[in-house]
């Protein structure tokens, strides 16, 4: 391969200009660390994932929000009431949760307790 004289002249000129440039230790280490391939750490992997941009189309996002509202937006009512308990032969405090027509009853005072302060004695 024939070497062009202009290329040789250009190389010689660049060598003369950069001959006096000295790099500090930190710059040399930075160049070495950035050019040598190393296995990324867990922190680097996490930061790469955290710095990615996710594009979600508006119709899909709206459909997901509507689906969540339909599923989670079902009407439910929580009430405190006095229910008759056959095991204790009296009324006890309970919390009634009504979720779409199904009643779930939770005792407030453990198994059950008196309704009024005067009934405690």
Please, how many CA atoms are within 13 Å of residue 28, restricted to the half-sphere of its CB?
Answer: 5
Q: 85 falls in which pLDDT band (50, 70, 90)?
A: low
Residue 91 lies in a domain: yes
Which residues form the domain of 103? 75-109
Residue 87 lies in a domain: yes
Residue 94 lies in a domain: yes
Nearest to 95 by CA among 84, 114, 82: 82
pLDDT tens digits along 11-37: 888 888 888 888 888 988 888 888 877
Number of structural domains (the chain) is 1
Residue 26 lies in a domain: no
**Secondary-structure percent of the chain, ordered helix, strand, coil, rounded to 5:** 45, 20, 35
Residue 55 lies in a domain: no
């Amino acid at each position: 391969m024939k070497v062009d004289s202009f290329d040789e002249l250009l190389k010689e000129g660049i060598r003369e200009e950069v001959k006096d440039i000295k790099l500090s230790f930190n710059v040399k280490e930075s160049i070495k660390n950035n050019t040598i391939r190393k296995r990324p750490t867990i922190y680097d992997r996490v930061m790469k994932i955290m710095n990615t941009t996710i594009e979600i189309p508006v119709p899909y996002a709206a459909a997901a929000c509507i689906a969540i509202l339909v599923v989670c937006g079902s009407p439910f009512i929580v009430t405190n009431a006095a229910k008759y308990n056959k095991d204790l032969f009296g009324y006890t405090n309970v919390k009634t949760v009504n979720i779409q027509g199904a009643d779930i009853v939770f005792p407030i005072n453990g198994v059950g307790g008196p309704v009024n302060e005067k009934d405690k004695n």
